[in-house]
Amino acid sequence: MKIAIFALSLIVSIGLYRLGCFFAKSNKKTVVCLAILSLTICFVLEILRVYRAWLAALVPIDIAVYMEKGAFVPFAVFFFAICSKSVSSKFTEKALHGICFLAIGYMCVYSSWMIMPVVKCGNFKIVDSVCIQSTPTTCGPACLTTIARFHGLKTTEQQMAHLSHTTNVWGTTSLRMLKAMRDFLTPQKRLFSASVHYTDWEGLQKISKPCIVNTEYSTYVNHVMVLFAIENGRVVLGDPLEGRIYLSKNRFMRMWTTEVITFNIK
């Protein structure tokens, strides 16, 4: 299924590139209208890519997981292709075609999780009720395991890695974690709701816990942790790297991206 979607995305992107080249020879009014339409779609999809909470709220999760990274690319390719004949020099025209292929390459790279094998986890380890990640990219599955076991459900890091299609290169994403928890709970007939959203410190204190918070581990590298509680100004976290840790509000706020994944499991 995932491989078919990856192939379809590539075919659609190349098809829209060819279509853009065809319409680039049309009259100016047609070119302008189609360019504005494709640019508008790109803009909307890029907003949804950045604000994943909106994507999760507007689109079914089974579709949203495939739209997180490269959904805007086919329309960006169409935009640059249709504008290629409206520029003043051959060099600029070739540059626009080059941008089209770079965009398709970007989509292939960031959508490659669909064709990559699921990461193989190491020894399963629980420390202070926190699942410790066994690989550099399995903080997401480890957090899901911690949440599930908090609610008395037996699972492992490897099972959650499989359900969230976590890879050695890209790890997983917030939306794939939502889908993984849903796919895990549905056969067990447990009532379940979950969401990804953004909040501030005051909002975080009101959120049902445990939940998962997204943090900036280093430049361009995010790391998720389980938030157990906020007690006396200290944040109690289940860090898949270290186990249960306690951070001051200031230190936590410097790390936190304001993204939260909440779960309501009954």
User: pLDDT per residue over 84-101, tens digit each?
Assistant: 988 888 999 999 999 999
Unique residue bearing structure tokens 């938030």? 227
Are 106 and 141 members of one domain? no
pLDDT of 188 strictly over 90: no
Q: Is the pLDDT higher at 157 or at 221? A: 157
Whether residue 151 sits in one domain with residue 95: no
**121 within domain boundaries:** no
pLDDT at 241: 95
**pLDDT at 129 (0 to 100):** 94
Question: What is the structure's pLDDT at 134?
Answer: 96
DSSP letter at 116 equals S
Find which of 65-69, 73-77, 193-197 is predicted with most confidence, using mean pLDDT: 73-77
Q: Is 69 within the bounds of a domain?
A: yes
Question: How far is 233 from 187, CA to CA, in rounded Å?
Answer: 39
> Measured between alpha carbons, how far is 250 from 254 in angstroms, rounded to an integer?
6
Of the residues 68, 83, 114, which one is the last residue of a structural domain? 114
Is the separation of the CB atoms in 121 and 138 below 8 Å?
Answer: yes
For residue 240, cis peptide bond before it (omega within 30 degrees of 0): no
**Above 90 in pLDDT, residue 57?**
no
Give yes or no: residues 131 and 261 share one domain.
yes
Asked if residue 120 is part of any domain, the answer here is no
CATH classification at residue 191: 3.90.70.10
Residue 74's domain comprises: 2-114
* Best CA proximity match to 173, nearest among 72, 259, 255, 92: 259
Distance CA 57, CA 51 (A): 10
Task: Check whether residue 139 and residue 102 sit in a common domain.
Answer: no
pLDDT digits (tens, 9 = 90+) for 112-134: 999 999 999 999 999 999 999 99
pLDDT on residue 92:
93
- Report how far apart, in Å, the C-alpha atoms of 162 and of each of 112, 116, 265 are: 16, 12, 21
Q: What percent of the chain has pLDDT over 90?
A: 75
Residue with tokens 């689109």: 59
What pLDDT, in 10s, does the model give residues 217-251? 877 789 999 999 999 889 999 999 999 999 999 99
CA distances, 173 to each of 56, 204, 228 (Å): 12, 21, 21
Give me the mean pLDDT over the 37-45 stretch: 95
Which of left, alpha, beta for 115 (phi over 0: left; psi -120 to 50: alpha)? alpha
Query: In the predicted model, what is the mean pLDDT of the chain?
Result: 92
Confidence of residue 167 (pLDDT cuts 50, 70, 90): very high
**Cα 210 to the center of its chain, rounded Å:** 21
Q: Cis omega before residue 210 (within 30°)?
A: yes
